[in-house]
Structure 1
Amino acid sequence: MKRYMLVAALAALSVSPAIAQNNAVPAAAQTEAAAVTSAQQFTDIAAVSNLFEIESSKIALQKATSPQVKEFAQRMIDDHTKAGDELKAAADAQSIKVPTDLDDKHKQMLDQLNAASGADFDAAYIQMQTDAHHEAVALFDQFSKGGEAGQVKDFAAKTLATLQEHEKAVEALSQTAQAGGAAEGDNPAQNTTLTAPVDQNAMATSPAANAPAAAPPAPAAAQNAAPGAAPADQNAAAPALGAIDVKTLTPVDVGGIKGDDLKGVEVLDPNGNKIASISDFVLTQEGSLDAVIVDFGGFLGIGTKPVAVAFDGLNFVSDQDGKRYLMAAITKEQLDAQPPYNKDDYASNRDAQRLVLSK
């Protein structure tokens, strides 16, 4: 009976329109999922995602403070272990190779979970599960409708209902946690405090060195946005389903952000659409932050393109629950057109690889 303790929380979804709307799969995820049509491509993505569900939930069994979170984690282990076995059987029937290791992005996400503790861990795990299941539902739904015919497609169609149940369960868990008013704890500093570059000679090769010192006045449409946040961009995509309401965001002091705090932070355009996430950062020789590396494109973290974005012009904000975001006047088109970041030759090709945004 313990497995069904979430029923009461799930019932809340049927009576609260605001909560029910959170279960809708973001439009961006639907679009990206529709591009996955080959059985091999689907298997590559689904297998890594499935493995992450299992490994992250094993950590949750050890570190979660909430009994409900631990219960959910055990269900993820049981269901996704079964799903992994069924995916392999379907893939073998079509002579498709199944990945057995996590990619770098998902390894970093496990590192973030291992570094968190207490209420911070519960919140991070729930958020990762929420995002992962939104994307997984979109992937399985789209592939079951328009994917390559065969056993893998049959597997996607069969498994979709289970993933939709998971999606509802984690949304209910998230709402229960928010209602409980869990406070965000302070993480110990794990890196040198990051500050904007102050060496003008070091920045001389960057177009940002000649940028105006003051930002232009915010358009009238953005006057209700968070102070210090990027102004609304008429060229940015209109707020999509699942976009963050920028009016609820507040600025975060850059001086209080540590190096490891940056990894995993989602990037928002001025209209609150999630367009990328930070995977790493680059420091100058003086130890100041030169650029953040954002992972753009791909699906479920796979096939992403790393782009170096200059620290100048970036604004960190947080929502009412304390979750941090990076808000920047940036578009998917800019990220798509930018050469990818390569750590091996970044120093010699900094001007070409480093995307400098207008302030």
Structure 2
Amino acid sequence: MRATGSLILSVMVVAGLTVAVSRAADEPPAAQNEANAPATAQPPASVVPVTPKDAAPPPSVTIIGASDAHGVLGRDVRSAADEDMGHVVDIIVDRTGHVRAAVIDFGGFLGVGSRKIVVDWNAMRFGKIANKSDSITLELTKAQVAAAPEYKEDAPIVVLGASGSLQPLQAVQ
């Protein structure tokens, strides 16, 4: 029934457009109807013509090979001992746009009992390990991650780093 209704609506739209085009073709142009029409039409005062100097320059283009880069959201994270550490659910950037940390959904089973923790971006390694191509390895143990405080939006962020490698986040004014 739904397909029939869509078909009828499509036929009605096409028929309406056909009638409108036919009527427009039968009417003479407005400039021919007016005897005192100027020879060259002027655009309305509110229209600003675009000149080549106003045009935006073409964007730069970079081509990255499919095996050279991958997205990280949703990707599984493993420990160096090949333990399941969860998966990346968000990325934390500072006010200058530099990546500082990753939010990992850690623990639980099928989404129940899991919690989000934040790990330093520099504590993550991207590459191939133990028959896992394109894996993310975290330089922290499962026990260290389990002891990390939970990430909550709009609260101070506690970032877990590997071996004191974190630098304090400088406030940008």
Report the TM-score, using the length of structure 1 for normalisation.
0.25
Deviations 1:139-182 (A, max 9, x none): xxxxxxxxxxxxxxxxxxxxxxxxxxxxxxxxxxxxxxxxxxxx
Matched, 1:305 2:110: no
Q: How far off its partner does 1:309 sit?
A: 0.3
What residue in structure 2 maps to residue 296 of structure 1?
106
What residue in structure 2 maps to residue 222 of structure 1?
none
AA partner of residue 268 (structure 1): R
Matched, 1:330 2:144: no
Q: For 1:328 and 1:278, how far apart are their aligned partners in 2?
A: 11
Q: Any gaps of 5 or more consecutive residues in structure 2? A: 1-64, 166-173
What residue in structure 2 maps to residue 281 of structure 1?
91
What residue in structure 2 maps to residue 355 of structure 1?
160
**Closer/same/farther in 2, CA of residues 271 and 284 from structure 1, 3 Å limit:** same
Q: For 2:145 and 2:130, how far apart are their aligned partners in 1?
A: 28
Equivalences for 1:1-359 in 2 at 5 Å? 186=66, 256-257=69-70, 261-318=71-128, 323-345=133-155, 349-350=156-157, 353-358=158-163
Task: Please identify which structure carries the higher helix content.
Answer: 1
Q: For 1:333 and 1:320, how far apart are their aligned partners in 2?
A: 21
SS at match of 1:279: strand
SS at match of 1:262: coil
SS at match of 2:122: coil
Q: How many matched pairs?
A: 100
Report the TM-score, using the length of structure 2 for normalisation.
0.50
Q: Which has the larger radius of gyration?
A: 2
Q: Any gaps of 5 or more consecutive residues in structure 1? A: 1-184, 187-251
Task: Please identify which structure carries the higher strand content.
Answer: 2
AA partner of residue 159 (structure 2): R
The answer as to whether partners of 1:267 and 1:278 remain within 8 angstroms in 2 is yes
Runs of 4+ in structure 1 over 6 Å off: 319-322
The answer as to whether partners of 2:123 and 2:140 remain within 8 angstroms in 1 is no
The answer as to whether partners of 1:264 and 1:279 remain within 8 angstroms in 2 is yes
SS at match of 1:316: strand
The answer as to whether partners of 1:265 and 1:324 remain within 8 angstroms in 2 is no
